[in-house]
Amino acid sequence: MATEDEGILVVKKGPGLTSHDIVARLRRIFNMRRVGHCGTLDPLATGVLVVCLGRLTRLNEWIANADKEYLATFCLGANSDTGDANGVIQPTDAYEPPNFERLKSSLQALTGTYDQVPPVFSAIKVNGVPSYRLARQNKAVPLKARKITIKEIEPLQYSWPMLRIRVACSKGTYIRSLAMDLGTDLGCGAYVNALHRTRVGTLDETNAWTLEEIETRVNEARFDGLFVPPVQCLDNLPHLVLNSLDLKRFGSGQGVSIALFDAVKKRQNYAIFDINQCLYGIGCWDLDSALMKPVKVFHPA
């Protein structure tokens, strides 16, 4: 349940804007400070950017944990210092353009769970400083590899030097790193020429609004259908419906005893709802006390 003071928005991000630009614009549109996005999109990228307003910004970490899906166009035969078309492009010498079968084999090798090194031009902080700032100063950027999962890579179109693919992946995956890894494997180099995010969890472009559409509706006080209900955004968490007495206890910060609860779930997080699918908070089953304990608590709007 959302009001004009809180909610979850799916924004259609345009090219050239940073995720911070989107947040700043929404703060002006809604005249509020408490606005945060759930997963950065590079300036070159377009598509789905999930943004939370008001107290629902406390859900950012769970929404950001959802799987993502992208349509990406890679340019083969060259490298970029940023990993995309916004960087300094250096053509690669002495290589043979790969055929489609070679391409499919390299893409298949990039699926699965493994450690991926983020691009140095990224928002990851090194000693409190975004790594892209260090990279722009030609300073060493020691970024650690992070475990990611590439669930699917589907080649959609290939006409040298352009390759268009669909990628379904876990949180934390850098498509620019994927392009660079592909270019290394093929021996010809590669960078992201275009990138469009089509999905975050179950939220896709059917839920999305442009900034102009959002501003028009807010100015006209038409909030119906603008926000996505939390129950639709937390598909990566198991849902648990509590009765009114247990909700009162949970809402006051107390643990709740649940008869016949599957303790095998251990310390897994749960999204807590009432029978009307109104979000009350995030809970965690505590084995020691055998209680569902509050992690985050919300109150019905």
Q: At what angle do helices 211-219 and 19-30 cross, to 10 degrees?
A: 10
Among 5, 21, 42, 204, the one annotated catalytic: 42
212 strand-pairing partners: none
Query: How distant, in Å, are the alpha carbons of 74, 138, 144, 188, 292 from that of 62?
Result: 30, 35, 23, 38, 18
- Give the list of residues 6+ apart from residue 6 with CB closer than 8 angstroms, or none: 53, 54, 55, 56, 301
Length of the chain: 301
Burial state string for 55-84 with b = 16 or more CB within 10 A and e = fewer than 16: ebbbbbebbbbbbbbbbbbbbbbbbbebbb
Give me 219's structure tokens: 């100015």
Active site residue 274: no
Burial of residue 242 (number of CB atoms within 10 Å: 0-12, 13-18, 19+): buried
Catalytic machinery residues: 42
